[in-house]
Amino acid sequence: MQIQGYEFNISAGRLEETLGGYLLSGKTVQIGHPFGRTLFFKHGWQSWSEAGWVSLKESPQPIQPPERRPQCDDPAYALSPVHGGSGLGGLEGHDGRMLFLGALRPGARIEADRLYLKGICDHETQWFLAYGEQQEVLTRYAELLANTLGVRGQQPAPRVWCSWYSYYSDISESKMLETIAGLQGLPFEVFQLDDGWQQNMGDWEPNHKFPSGMSTIALRAQSQGLTPGLWLAPFIARPSSSLFKEHPDWFLRDEQGELVSAGSNWGGYYALDVTLPAVQSWLQSLIQKVRGWGYRYLKLDFLFAAALPGKRHANESREEAYREALRLIREAAGDDVYILACGAPILASLGLVDGLRIGPDVAPYWDNEDRRVYLHDPTGPSAYNALRTSLHRLWLKPLVHTDPDVAYFRTRYNLLTPAQRAALQDLALVAGFKATSDPPEWLDGEEREQLREWLEATPSILQTGPYTFKIGGREVDFSSWL
């Protein structure tokens, strides 16, 4: 059929017109297109997975080394010879507009080659098909997703201080109490402890560096008007953890009964089978426990692990299993707890979490070329990788708070140029989520003042093109960084 002057050959169960495009239904749908080896809008599976335009002229290259694949993108498709993405995707047409296909439920794959754009799902679903300007089709898709998956994060996102991108896991009670004290006079709303407080991945109890227990930090933050925040990775555990040793049968295995690896850092770790009733009650008590310690902002990380391919106790699709586990967590946390999902399958998290990390980790340096170019891995920590993927996920803004990761104000321990630091600061403004990890004592007077002004500012944000914005009166163009 003809759409916007182009001939597309559509096969789908049903097709009906909707505002801005068409609704298709079926487990698989296929659109023959006339654009040849054009650009493909790839949308990676989870927070850290690549999102951006890639060329169909080059074959997809598997991420190296293989052990890293489970935590980079959907490992089910790590070796796919065809370009693909998760949930949604598109092709650039001859006139620069976009042929777009997006599923209205989680669990779908989009594939593209020089002849077809395909949608593949393990269950019946509806799809939105459109041809138009990138901004318009993505905005319309977000509206449709809001109806099927729900929306959270309507109030402005909180301003967060997070311990990761300065101290990494080298945190302690005394250091954190000092940091909280130093934050006085800076308009933060959340003080979030990151990785480094726990005994082990899986054993979510304070380690020896937090001798008075986790409530101490929470109380001190609160007494200074800050919401206490805590990082945890509820769906994973290391083999050295007591959790794993006591319950090896709680962990996800493949058809052969072998444990499914969830990733290779920390000497490797495994994923819980979140459909097991015993695991579900363990998860709920974990969340109630940290709530009891006083934390009201939870950065839940490595969430993809619950949706990895494997054989589960309950016969649900993997993204349904994940979504159900998130629902149980939300129920245990209560509605007044802010949940930031990180390393999280994107579509399957919508409607259940308040904030969503939309890119890989930033770093105080621009590129991670060894991994990005030679190992075909665009998910390594770097300002560039974070900026690129986050920019291609801003269409999610009407559905959830979109977290592009922290911005830097410090020059200490930082290789970013002033312009690169400014790009990350602006990215946070356009994404609507402001966070930093800069310890106040690392900032000189001028840097502290810049941070304060940035935290206080509430400029109007107008998107004028895929990569161009008006922030207040200022024109900002991110395309020169891409």
- By CB under 6 A, name the binding residues for ligand 9PG: 71, 164, 194-195, 231, 265, 301, 342-343, 361
Residue whose C-alpha is closest to residue 317's, from 27, 111, 8: 27
SS3 332: helix
**DSSP letters for 374-417:** IS--TTSS-HHHHHHHHHTTGGGTTTSEEE---B----TT----
Instruction: Give the list of residues 6+ apart from residue 208 with CB closer than 8 angstroms, or none.
Output: none
Minimal distance, residue 369 CB to ligand 9PG, in Å = 17
Minimal distance, residue 450 CB to ligand 9PG, in Å = 23
**C-alpha of 35 from chain center:** 31
Please say if 74 is a catalytic residue.
Answer: no
- N residues, the chain: 482
Residue whose C-alpha is closest to residue 284's, from 329, 242, 218, 239: 329
| Nearer of residues 73 and 92 to ligand 9PG, judged by Cβ | 73
Which of 361, 403, 426, 438 is catalytic? The answer is: 361
Minimal distance, residue 265 CB to ligand 9PG, in Å = 3
| Nearer of residues 45 and 231 to ligand 9PG, judged by Cβ | 231
Minimal distance, residue 352 CB to ligand 9PG, in Å = 19
| Residues 293/214, Cβ–Cβ less than 8 Å | yes
Q: What is the DSSP letter of 365?
A: S
Q: Which residue has the tokens 């997703």?
A: 145
Rg value, the chain, Cα: 22
Minimal distance, residue 261 CB to ligand 9PG, in Å = 12
Which of 301, 377, 426, 438 is catalytic? The answer is: 301
| Residues 363/58, Cβ–Cβ less than 8 Å | no
| Residues 163/437, Cβ–Cβ less than 8 Å | yes
Q: For 222, what's the count of Cα atoms within 13 Å in the CB-facing half-sphere?
A: 13
Pairwise CA distance, residues 356 & 403, whole Å: 6
What are the backbone dihedrals phi and psi of residue 82, each rounded to the nearest 5 degrees, phi first? -110, 145
Minimal distance, residue 362 CB to ligand 9PG, in Å = 9
Bridge partners of residue 462, in order along the sequence: 470
Minimal distance, residue 406 CB to ligand 9PG, in Å = 8
Structure tokens at 204: 């979510």
Please say if 354 is a catalytic residue.
Answer: no
In angstroms, the Cα distances linking 164 to 61, 302, 313, 408 are 31, 15, 35, 12
| Nearer of residues 301 and 426 to ligand 9PG, judged by Cβ | 301
The residues carrying an active-site annotation are: 301, 361
